[in-house]
Amino acid sequence: MAVIYADNNATTQIASSVLNEMMPYLTEYYGNPSSMHTFGGQVGKKIKEARAQTASLLNATPEEILFTSCGTESDSTAIRAAIMSSPSKKHIVTTRVEHPAVKNLCEQLAKERFRITYVPVDQNGALDLDFLYQSLTDDTAIVSIMWANNETGVIFPVEEIASVVKGKGIAFHTDAVQAVGKIPIDLKNSNIDMLSLSGHKIHAPKGIGALYIRKGTKFSPFLIGGHQEKGRRGGTENVASIIGLGAASKLSQELMTKENTDVKTLRDTLEKGLLEKIDHSFVNGVKERRLPNTTSIAFEYVEGEAILLMMDQFGICASSGSACTSGSLEPSHVLRAMGVPFTAAHGTIRFSLSTYNTMDEVNLIIEKLPPIINTLRNMSPFWKQNQ
Ligand code: PLP
């Protein structure tokens, strides 16, 4: 059975051009980039190229890119670096809808010595900016706000927020794991101090990420060890994956227009088709600016997990919230923060597309899903009660 992969916010397929770039560095060129010999040195040169490619995607300089093992490590490194760099400050500002990489770290820091402010969102998923700005104090060590939400695709105005935050002399970090490669990012002309990204969301392998650290930002390493990454992260480099991230960054730049035209058309067609054919359904966050590839659709009075299992029989892969929270029957914290009613939050499915998807696949989802929802609703006591 063919797989219809509509779960690209969970992870993406490695692009063949990315894999081709990586392969020689898993086989032939296995030298250590820190070695003095030419054999290792040539690997170092290729890492330099990958750093420049990654920087170029963000309009940053290569020196501002630190390679990490994943988006989660980038987030932890950024937030911990900021609090270690200003030891007298004990306040962190973030949002109610962050990925667990930031959310759970903040919950942990709250058990230590930090006070955390969680900025709320409204029913559309928009951030309460007045609340955010009023929460900033002399004690605030860092503000960490995601660029785009992984579940709904809602985009936050992080450039505007960064300007206000920086104006008060506070460090600003953004988790841009879902935004990078999907919308243009220009760090040179922004006030963002640190930005996290992850390779496996942009057709590079899993286990590679990067943290942008603006030149001049106070920094303190998370992994202490060798002199790699200019002493900002110890540990021999994950060479092939770094090269993969560089190649994927280059590819993302080439595909940016396609992402915002072709992929967006696929997403809009999917959304329209499903809403037309399935009553009692709506799109979470539809009134806000959203990522072009993502739609989070609530099908009222059904269980998202049951929908996923039935779609799986047709090879359709999607997600019922973020991949990291699936397996739990609690509705997602993002939808709860938006005040989505329980009966709708439970039946929410996230479809996230990529340039590998086709209109035929979208049409197949539009054909297969309505009878699935019908079947499940006919089995649901909530549905019967509400008819
Ligand atoms: N931040 C966001 C917004 C994400 O969507 C994800 C992954 O889904 C992460 C962070 C974590 O990235 P990684 O899986 O590379 O640790």
Residue 152 predicted with pLDDT over 90? yes
Counting ligand 1 atoms within 8 A of each CB, the residue from 102, 177, 194, 238 with the most, and so the one to mutate, is 177
Last residue of a domain, one of 251, 279, 303: 251
Pocket of ligand 1 (CB under 6 A): 70-72, 99, 101, 146, 150, 175, 177-178, 198, 200, 209
Clarify whether residues 55 and 23 are in a common domain: yes
* pLDDT score for 382: 78
Task: List, for residues 294-319, the tens digit of each pLDDT value.
Answer: 999 999 999 999 999 999 999 999 99
Residue 246's pLDDT band, with cuts at 50, 70 and 90, is very high
Task: List, for residues 61-115, the tens digit of each pLDDT value.
Answer: 999 999 999 999 999 999 999 999 999 999 999 999 999 999 999 999 999 989 9
The residues with which 174 forms a beta bridge, in sequence order, are 195
Clarify whether residues 180 and 325 are in a common domain: no
Clarify whether residues 60 and 155 are in a common domain: yes
Residue 323 predicted with pLDDT over 80? no
Clarify whether residues 239 and 303 are in a common domain: no
What is the atom index within ligand 1 of the atom nearest the CA of 207? 15
- Per-residue pLDDT, averaged over 320-343, amounts to 78
- Per-residue pLDDT, averaged over 147-153, amounts to 98
* pLDDT score for 327: 54
State the pTM of this model.
Answer: 0.97
* pLDDT score for 330: 79
Q: Cβ(149)–Cβ(285) under 8 Å?
A: yes
Three-state SS for 318?
coil
Clarify whether residues 299 and 224 are in a common domain: no
Counting ligand 1 atoms within 8 A of each CB, the residue from 154, 198, 319, 325 with the most, and so the one to mutate, is 198
For atom 9 of ligand 1, the residue with the nearest CA is 71
Query: For residue 197, what is the domain's CATH number?
Result: 3.40.640.10
* pLDDT score for 265: 98
Clarify whether residues 122 and 224 are in a common domain: yes
Q: When comparing pLDDT for 385 and 259, which is higher?
A: 259
Residue 317 bears catalytic tag: no
Task: List, for residues 196-218, the tens digit of each pLDDT value.
Answer: 999 999 999 999 999 999 999 99
Domain that holds residue 205: 16-251
Task: List, for residues 105-149, the tens digit of each pLDDT value.
Answer: 999 999 998 999 999 999 999 999 999 999 999 999 999 999 999
Clarify whether residues 83 and 114 are in a common domain: yes
Task: List, for residues 351-382, the tens digit of each pLDDT value.
Answer: 999 999 999 999 999 999 999 999 999 998 87
Q: Cβ(106)–Cβ(94) under 8 Å?
A: yes
* pLDDT score for 17: 98
* pLDDT score for 123: 98
Query: For residue 307, what is the domain's CATH number?
Result: 3.90.1150.10
Clarify whether residues 52 and 166 are in a common domain: yes
Task: List, for residues 157-195, the tens digit of each pLDDT value.
Answer: 999 999 999 999 999 999 999 999 999 999 999 999 999
Please measure the distance between the N-terminal and C-terminal CA atoms of the chain and give it in whole angstroms.
37
* pLDDT score for 324: 44
Number of domains in the chain: 2
Q: How far is the CA of 85 from the centre of ligand 1 (A)?
A: 24
Q: How far is the CA of 72 from the centre of ligand 1 (A)?
A: 6
